Each structure stands twice: as structure tokens, then as C-alpha cells.
Chain A
Amino acid sequence: MRSKIVLFIVALVVWLGFTWPPDLSHLLVGILVAIFVAYMTGDMFITRPHHLIHPLRYFWLFVYIPVFIWECFKANLDVVYRVIHPDVPINPGIVKVKTKLKSDTGITFLANSITLTPGTLSVDVDQDNGYLYIHWIHVFNEDVEGATKDIVRRFEYILERIFE
């Protein structure tokens, strides 16, 4: 039930954003649509609603956003360097890394962050054993420990505090 209420609020906010500026007819139609969406798919939205109450998780989310944007900017400069260099300096391969995160949301955000950060692209997830398979554009470490230290550590510390 709480999952449905959260989805109702999120759907209504997105609807109001897309029909900005708000007026009464848009608001009424939006409430009807949000009730329908929340009734049909509400149970799938979040599995642990009690996690939304902790203020400390929001604090870590606000720490995560600037870190993420900075890493994303570095990733773009990295791609530009490799593209304009005459020899295309790449040394690619697929490596295996280990993660401590267990929840669906945590692993999803970790894989997305890895995809948007310098030189890495997540290819496959083995959720049961906590392994991720990463395509790395310039491989420095082939073994699991070294690759984990280079790729996963910078996000895992923050994401563990947001989603676990």
C-alpha cells in the first residue's frame, strides 16, 4: 500500500511537470491518471518503503550527485582524448569485479554509474554471487581484486549508504 502511495505522488509530480503551468483541469486529469497507474503497477515500484524515511540517505544522495557529474565530465574528456589522438590509444577487454551491494536498486545504480564513468561499460551482472562484468577501454588490472579497486570503490562507498 505504501508503495502505491509513493508511486501516486511521483506520477503526479511528473504529470504536473509535463503540463506546466498548472491549472484545475490538468490537475484533475492528472489525479485520475496517477490513481490508475498507482493501482495497476504500484506493487512493483519499491519493495522497501521504510527506506524512504531516513534523512541520512538523502544527504548521501546529495553527496553522490556532484561526484557523479564530475566523473561523467571526466569520462567525456577521456573519450575526446582517445578519439582525437591519431593512434586511438585503446587496450580493451572485459574484466570481472566484485561488489558488496545486494539490493536491486543498488546494483542498478552501480551499473549505470560504471557505464557513465571513464572508460568502463557494464556488460553483465551476476547478482547471486555479486559479480559485475565490465568492458574496460584501457585495461590496467586483469585480476578481480585490482579491477575492483580501480572501478567500483569510488561509488560503492556512497551507494552503500544510500540504498542498502
Chain B
Amino acid sequence: MIDTIGIIFIGLGIFFDLFGCLGLIRFPDLYNRLQASTKCVTFGTGSILFGTFLIVGFTAAGIKALFTIIFIVLTAPVSAHALSKSAHMSGIPLWQESVCDKLEDENRYKKNDQ
């Protein structure tokens, strides 16, 4: 029974990981691609690790899987934040059909350079 639930979690994780990678190809610019990869890879990988924990139980591998979920959830959004902020600071434009860019309007970094 618990093995079946674990396999369901692993399958769900692989499904979301696959669509995260498809999002990398189909979305038009860096910021949208970062959204797809960050969300899907965090939840998909966490789901795979949780399924592994359910199957192997409180063994050496299971405890490591639980700690790895916590580290991924804490670090993946921070790295996405660092990538998007540095991309915006170095002048990578948004997709041409984007609606608005409040950060560009306020010009925070160009003032600091002068």
C-alpha cells in the first residue's frame, strides 16, 4: 500500500519535471522560462524525493531525502531571484509583447551608476 502511494508521488514528480522542461522550450523570454523551471522543478523534485522517503522509510536514504526537500525549497527560489535580478540589471529585455515593466520605469540601477 505505502509503496503504491510512493510510486504515485514519484510519477507525479516526473510529470511536473517533464512539463517544466517543456516550458523552458516553449516560453519566449528568460523571465517566463525561469518561472516554469523554478516552480516545476522544485515541486517535481520534492515530490520524487518524498515518494522515495515513503518507499524506503526512516532509513539512511529516507532521512537524507527529507533534508534534501527542505534545502531545495529554501534554495531554488533564491537562485531564481538572483538570476532574474542580475539579468534585469545587465539589461536583458522582456518579451516584446509584455504589458508593463515597473522596474525599468523607475530606473533604480542607472541612477546608482552615475
Residues of A within 8 A of B (CB): 14, 17-18, 20-21, 72-73, 75-76, 79-80, 82-84, 88, 90-96, 111-112, 115-116, 119-124, 126, 133, 135, 137, 139, 142
Given contacts A94-B103, A133-B103, contact A21 B60 (CB under 8 A): yes
Q: How many residue pairs between the two chains, A and B, have CB atoms under 8 Å in the bound complex? A: 132
Tell me the dominant secondary structure on chain A's binding face: mixed
Give which listed residue, A88, A96, A121, A124, contacts B35 with CB less than 8 A: A121
- Taking the closest CB of chain B, its distance from the CB of A67, in whole angstroms, is 14
User: In the complex the two chains form, what is the Cα distance from A82 to B39 in whole Å?
Assistant: 13
Q: Is the beta-carbon distance between A92 and B94 smaller than 8 angstroms?
A: yes
Q: Taking the complex as formed, is B74 at the interface, i.e. its CB lies under 8 A from any CB of chain A?
A: yes
Tell me the dominant secondary structure on chain B's binding face: helix
Q: Is the beta-carbon distance between B26 and A88 smaller than 8 angstroms?
A: yes
Contact residues in A for B22 (Cβ distance below 8 Å) = 83-84
Q: Taking the complex as formed, is B113 at the interface, i.e. its CB lies under 8 A from any CB of chain A?
A: no
